[in-house]
Amino acid sequence: MSNTQLLKQPPRQRPNAPRYWIITKHDPIQLRGLTIPLSSGEEALAAFSFNEEAELFLKLGQEVREGWQIRESSAGEIISLLMGPHVDVGRVALDPAPEMLAQKTGGLVSLDRQRFMDIILNRGS
């Protein structure tokens, strides 16, 4: 199976494991998640509790360009993103509203990356 085919597959999950939806863009080498700018100058990875919230964000987010898609994601996959291609992203925004992009108010719904990882690792145990 090619890397492209693997990237298109939903992650495998344990029963009752937390699920998240992220907005992703595939480049030929790795999966990239949508980050939103914060007023502090930092970036936050956008993660959603429900598919419908991610769909609404994608439809209404004026700044989100074509080529982005919604992907169901496991806690492990999000941690992999934060430790890999998004190692420089310091925060995770939970269920950000589309208008938060322009207003740079995603910090209101964001957690420090380490705190987020601690929470989802403990929840999945």
**Domain chopping of the chain, boundaries:** 20-123
The SS3 assignment for 71 reads strand
Question: How many angstroms from the chain centroid is the CA of residue 54?
Answer: 9
CA 1 centroid distance within chain:
25
pLDDT of residue 13: 47
CB 22 within 8 A of CB 78: yes
The H or E element that residue 72 is part of is strand 69-74
20-123: CATH topology: Trna Endonuclease; Chain: A, domain 1 (3.40.1350)
The pLDDT tens digits for 73-86 are 988 889 999 999 99
Pairing of strands 43-48, 19-26: antiparallel
Residues 6+ apart with CB under 8 A from 12: 74
Q: Please, what is the angle between helix 75-83 and helix 113-123, to 10°? A: 150
Global pTM value = 0.79
The candidate with the shortest Cα–Cα distance to 38, out of 124, 119, 100, is 100
- Separation CA 53–CA 41 (nearest Å): 25
Q: Which of 87, 92, 124 is nearest to 109 (CA)?
A: 92
Task: For the chain of 125 residues, list the mean pLDDT of each consecutive stretch of 10.
Answer: 52 62 83 88 93 90 75 90 92 88 78 91 66
pLDDT at 48: 95
